[in-house]
Structure formats: C-alpha cells, structure tokens
Amino acid sequence: MISTVKELAAEALFVSCLQPSERPDRETVEDAITTMILRHGSDGCAAGVATEFGDHPDVAVRRMAWVRSELTEVLAPRVSVLR
C-alpha cells in the first residue's frame, strides 16, 4: 500500500505546475499533490505522466528525478522540537 501511495504522490507532483527552480517548501509540495489528485484523479495523473514520457522523454526523466527527490523530503517524518 505504501508504494502505491508514493507512486500516486509522484505522479501528482509530476503533473503539477511546480518547478524545481521555485524551490517549493514541504507545504507547497503537499498542496500541489493534493490539488492534482483532486483535479485529475489517479488515472488522470498517470495519463499525464505517460503522455510526457511519450512526448518528451528526456525532460520527463529529469522531472521525475526531481519529483523523487522532493518526495523523499516530503514523506520523511516531521521532527518536532520539544522545549
């Protein structure tokens, strides 16, 4: 189940308008993922990824590498500091 959630999050972030140059924070990435899932559903996100890999494979590979990197940070447990 966890890998399915990670894959859906990756597809949703991939089809979002966020760009690596924006250096989005965790909350912005989470919001983009949620928005894309609600807007396109899981099938729509997957279709968007497939289209980009078919039309622009060189760019899509770089974008997916960025997506995976962002998700590593987003899916990491939040650390709270107790005082």
pLDDT digits (tens, 9 = 90+) for 20-77: 999 999 999 999 999 999 999 999 999 999 999 999 999 999 999 999 999 998 877 7
Three-state secondary-structure class, residue 10: helix
d(CA 81, CA 45): 36
pLDDT-derived band of residue 17, with 50, 70 and 90 as boundaries?
A: very high
Residue 1 has what pLDDT? 47
pLDDT at 10 over 90: yes
Which of 63, 50, 49, 58 lies closest to 15 in space, CA to CA? Answer: 49
Mean pLDDT of 6-28: 95
d(CA 55, CA 78): 37
